[in-house]
A and B are shown apart, each in its own frame.
Chain A
Amino acid sequence: MRKLSTTKKTLSALAIAAVAATALSACGGSSSGGDAATGEVNYWLWDANQLPAYQQCADDFHQANPDITIKITQTGWDDYWGKLTNGMAAGTAPDVFTDHLAKFPDFLKTKQLLPLDDAVSKDKVDLGQYQEGLADLWVGQDGKRYGLPKDWDTVSLFYNKDMLAKAGITEDQMSKLSWNPQDGGSYEKVIAHLTVDKNGKRGDEPGFDKNNVATYGLGLPGSDAENAGQTQWSYLSATTGWTTTDKNPWGTHYNYDDQRVQDTISWWAGLIQKGYMPKLETTVGANMADNFGAGKAAINAAGDWMISQYKGYKGIELGIAPTPQGPSGKNASMFNGLADSIWAGTKKKDASVKWVEYLATAKCQDVVASKAVVFPAIKTSTDKAAAAFKAKGIDVSPFTQHVKDRTTFLVPITDNGAKVAGIMKPAVDAVLSGKAPASSLTAANDQVNALFAK
């Protein structure tokens, strides 16, 4: 496991270096586009769960445009980005690929994406049909559009219904949790009560043995700082009024020196000290969802793309609750979206544009909705997805409620994404493992902001 991940890191590093080395030559070839809209378009995605849906879209598209064939390649998340950057350097990247907001600025910087503005205005793509804000995310600092929204995700709490019942906590209580960074509010009380040690003592009972815990109240996948705390702590820190950057998208100043985020992370790290959450070192090579499936955690905070995995564990009654209400009086969730982008080096420009536009229509997104795996970006398709989930016996309202109540905040989009992650991850890791106080994040924040000072 460890060996693989080092290989992965080296691969990404190498690939980035190679992209930098060949970026100029790659974009030089792109301007010569303007071919007939025929041939085979290569399309990449990472989520296997969505593959059948997009295969169907591709088949429908081919039926409507017999001259164009879509070849879909699916690569797991772990290898996807390394392969993609490697492909850009090698000149073998796919024509169209699923793009992620955290990676998108780096692609812009190396000029790997094709602007879509001309096509969007020519073909009159209605940017108002998407959930609010999603379309704006894919506009670069140059004011040009580099992607059309395909889906969105928010964060909620997955919980084990049996454990809740045994602890005497009602599902109604679970759906109305409150939280503050000082004593953790009812959220911490529930987490403590759901924590059970090897002798059956609960976390809030006298004699609880925090060094021999059988079931943790809250699961932990790692510090999540490389994703700006997307699923693990940003749903809390955002309720204090804190924002990651000065403005979003394209902020140039990070705010990890703020007391509010430091208090949040300090509280979160405190759960480990109290024995309510697994130690950071135990998360290496482990999988939070699998631990939940094994009954080793009662609550996991996770994104909606994980629904099918959580639903798949045998012997677990799955419940989903909204994230807790914070000092702001509301709850919060990071709002992340994916889009389809076109690689600047494509030799099938017109066909690729057609395919990207088709992916962004209600026709294709309704197909995705019907498979009940993610929430499509188009408003009407989102509702259809929620209905499809319901038909499968899953109430996804905690996820959709965030969007309806506008309790979302956008994933921070800035330059230097990979470098910021490289600084913040070890910094938050150190706080979580008890090696440094939360105030040490101020120094890391200075390092991060120095990246933007040039």
Chain B
Amino acid sequence: MTTTSTRRPFRWGLLLAWICLGLAIAISVLPFYWVLRTSLSTNGSLASNSANLLPADFNLGAFKRVFGLQSPEEALAEGGSGGSINFWGYLLNSFLFAGITTAGAVFFSSMAAYAFSRLRWKGRDKVFALFLGTVLVPPIFTALPNFLLIKNLGLLNTMAGLVLPYVFMTPFAIFFMRQFFLNMSREVEEAAMLDGAQHWRLFFQVVLPNAAAPLATLALLTFMGQWNEYFWPLLVGSDESSRVLTVGLGVFKSQSPQGAPDWSGLMAATLVSALPVLILFAVFGKKLVNSIGFNGTK
């Protein structure tokens, strides 16, 4: 009797917490469920079953369309576009695009960050401020000059043209790594210096190994951002050999003026294309949150 009465107020609070938590989970998971539900539905039945939580006329046709397993006639009959989608090719391009830019940006940005945090040179902080200032320039401003540059270089519709604007550095990455390097204790480096290590060696053998956690975080963030990048690949990678998944998914959008998109195909493709990022996040998510918290750049 006495034990329960002392416990009861505590339990109410716990119950409330669980309800809130459950609600929050439901709100964040429901959209994903809705994507899944729509992808398993038949287009023609979606409109009349909009309030139904279960798939409308269960059908795997949408996934077949995504993987290019349906003939144009079959696809059209199910409300698809009949347009070809070279899913595995686009997937490979997406991996290459996101992978190359991530590897490049992380590597070069940490070198730059090292220079901004460890080397002493005249005007260093001013140059850094200038670099940081470029964060303020909306990417859309540079889209047209970049496009013309890539065009004049003859790199349109090539992977090189796709990755060039991203591969060397992003201001955010430099800022992120510099903050981390500034917080790293210098003692180990000084010890290494006394042993005769030069900057190259310091960077590769002392600084980088110690920065594994923030490097992983930065790589993950960059990869996710690049994976979802749409506008630049749309401008530059328009032919089969350089089209990435985000652009390729356009085949599921509205095909005629005032027409409706191929909803189930679009949702199936969205689900499939989101999977790699979801998996990455599931594996590394905790590390990422920890590292950002540790770094203080929330």
Contacts and interface: CB of A to CB of B under 8 A. Distances in A.
Interface in A69-119: 74-79, 82-83, 86-87, 89-92
B249 to A, nearest CB: 11
A7 interface: yes
A32 interface: no
B235 A314 contact: no
Contacts of A305: 256-257, 259
Given A74-B81, A312-B44, A294 B256 contact: no
A170 B46 CA distance: 29
Nearest to B80: A48
B255 interface: yes
Interface in A309-347: 309, 312-316
B47 A221 contact: no
B72 interface: yes
B157 A18 contact: no
Interface stretch (B123-131, B142-150, B206-214, B278-286): B142-150
A52 interface: yes
A227 B140 CA distance: 28
Contact of B255 (A77, A86, A292): A77
Interface size class of B (residues with CB under 8 A): 35 or more
A47 B255 CA distance: 5
B76 interface: yes
Contacts of A308: 76
Given A49-B255, A76-B81, A10 B140 contact: yes
A90 B238 CA distance: 10
Nearest to A286: B260
Given A293-B47, A295-B48, A77 B144 contact: no
Nearest to A17: B144
B148 A18 contact: yes
A306 B47 contact: no
Interface residues of A, number: 52
Contacts, number: 144
B47 A291 contact: yes
A131 interface: no
Contact of A52 (B82, B234, B239): B82
A430 interface: no
A289 interface: yes
A294 B230 CA distance: 32
Interface string A404-441: 00000000000000000000000000000000000000
B230 A7 contact: yes
B150 to A, nearest CB: 9
A99 to B, nearest CB: 14
Contacts of A90: 147, 151, 156, 238
B232 to A, nearest CB: 11
Interface in A1-52: 4, 7, 10-11, 14, 17-18, 21, 46-49, 51-52
A316 B72 CA distance: 24
Given A290-B260, A306-B256, A314-B57, A92 B238 contact: yes
Nearest to B263: A290
Interface in B116-170: 140, 143-144, 147-148, 151, 156-157
A7 B233 CA distance: 12
Interface string B74-90: 00100111111000000
7 contacts: A51-B83, A77-B255, A77-B256, A291-B47, A293-B47, A294-B50, A314-B57
Given A87-B238, A315-B45, 16 more contacts: A11-B231, A18-B147, A18-B148, A47-B256, A49-B76, A76-B251, A86-B238, A231-B258, A287-B261, A289-B259, A303-B258, A305-B257, A313-B44, A313-B48, A314-B48, A316-B48
